[in-house]
Amino acid sequence: MSLLDDVANLRREAVEKIKGADSADTLGRIKVRYLGRKGLLTAILRGLKDLPDDQRKAVGARANQIRAELEQQIAEAVTGLSTEKSASAFDPTLPGTAQQIGAMHIVSQVMNEICQTFYGMGFEIARGPDVETDYYNFESLNFPPDHPARDMQDTFFVEGGRLLRTHTTPVQTRELERRNPPIKIIAPGKTFRNEEISTRAHVAFHQVDGFLVDEGVTMSDLKGTLVAFCRAFFGEDTKLKFRPSFFPFTEPSAEVDITCFLCKGKGCQLCKFSGWLEILGCGMIHPNVLTTGGYDPEKYTGWAFGMGVERVAMLKYKINDIRLFFNNNIRFLRQFV
């Protein structure tokens, strides 16, 4: 048998092994066996110097041709195995990956819960524009142009003498103008104040205002309604404390505190060791506001309240920074899905 026959047999053997290889590691070993530094085909090429001149040229040309052929077949086999592996990773019979479903924002959840609680007491829901006039935002609510209470609310003014409403109380005047008593309304919505953003304050936040106007309405009706709301929202063992306060559109006015639901009134860091948490302001509607709305304050009386939704959410869920509601941090928001 001549050396050319040996080379042909070597090629046939290598090709069969390449075709039967089932992994890149196997192909790597085949390449080393035949084409490596100590490989079988490499040994033949190194031994060409010992052949007679008439055989050296023919054997060398054939051996180099087979070497190139085997290198190409090994490379193609490696590519084929990689493609096959990638294709086999996909199983068309498996169910698809479900898309994550969005959820209602925690502020919207709390606002809806507040509204649903009062809706169950017979309140209607009314809304007003975010961009208000000075008349509805201030003047109709007993804020004269030079009233010092205007300094309590830093305002964003826009073109045309309008402003971004600083509270949802303007809805009260709008509803008084177009309705006849009895009126029982809650007004949820967004409000704006030109304040420095901090852990407790933001330039945009949400409020829920509520009011009732009819004949013979008293402060005790207001207290009974707020007690029923707080116990439904915060728990049946919740106690309330009314502290005298001042609002231009109510007289008398009060701030409402509830017993701290974390320490149950014993005192903790959340309630600053007082045992109480402030949640809203309220009072009897000022006679001037009723008059502006077209009502006779000698015949009709009413009460009103207002609460910050973010503040209620912070108290209920023990959140210490209002900015978390607006940062859109998914890890934070997913806690309330």
Q: Quick one: pLDDT at residue 213?
A: 95
**pLDDT tens per residue across span 304-325:** 999 999 988 988 888 888 899 9
In this structure, the answer to whether residues 265 and 213 fall within a common structural domain is yes
CB proximity list for 203: less than 8 A, separation 6 or greater: 156, 192, 193, 194, 195, 197
Higher pLDDT, residue 103 or 51: 103
| For residue 184, pLDDT beyond 80 | yes
**pLDDT tens per residue across span 248-296:** 899 999 999 888 766 777 777 667 778 788 889 999 999 999 999 999 9
Among the three residues 88, 119, 152, which one is the final residue of a domain in this structure?
88
In this structure, the answer to whether residues 150 and 83 fall within a common structural domain is no
| For residue 151, pLDDT beyond 70 | no
| For residue 327, pLDDT beyond 70 | yes
Q: What is the DSSP string of 208-265?
A: EEEEEEETT--HHHHHHHHHHHHHHHH-TT--EEEEEEEETTEEEEEEEEEE-TTTTT
In this structure, the answer to whether residues 29 and 174 fall within a common structural domain is no
Prediction pTM value: 0.67
In this structure, the answer to whether residues 26 and 130 fall within a common structural domain is no
Q: Quick one: pLDDT at residue 309?
A: 93
Residue pair 205/167 in contact by the 8 Å Cβ criterion: no
Tell me which residue of 44, 38, 204, 227 sits closest to 121, measured CA to CA.
227
In this structure, the answer to whether residues 144 and 224 fall within a common structural domain is yes
**pLDDT tens per residue across span 5-22:** 777 777 888 788 878 877
In this structure, the answer to whether residues 67 and 164 fall within a common structural domain is no
Q: What's the CA gap between 322 and 325, in Å, rounded?
A: 6
**pLDDT tens per residue across span 105-134:** 999 999 999 999 999 999 999 999 999 998
**pLDDT tens per residue across span 215-261:** 999 999 999 999 999 989 888 888 889 999 988 899 999 999 888 76
Number of domains in the chain: 2
Residue pair 141/170 in contact by the 8 Å Cβ criterion: yes
For residue 120, the 8-state DSSP code is T
On average, the pLDDT of the chain sits at: 84
Residue 135 belongs to domain with CATH number? 3.30.930.10
Position 82: which residue type? S
Q: Quick one: pLDDT at residue 263?
A: 72
Full residue range of the structural domain in which residue 154 is found: 106-336
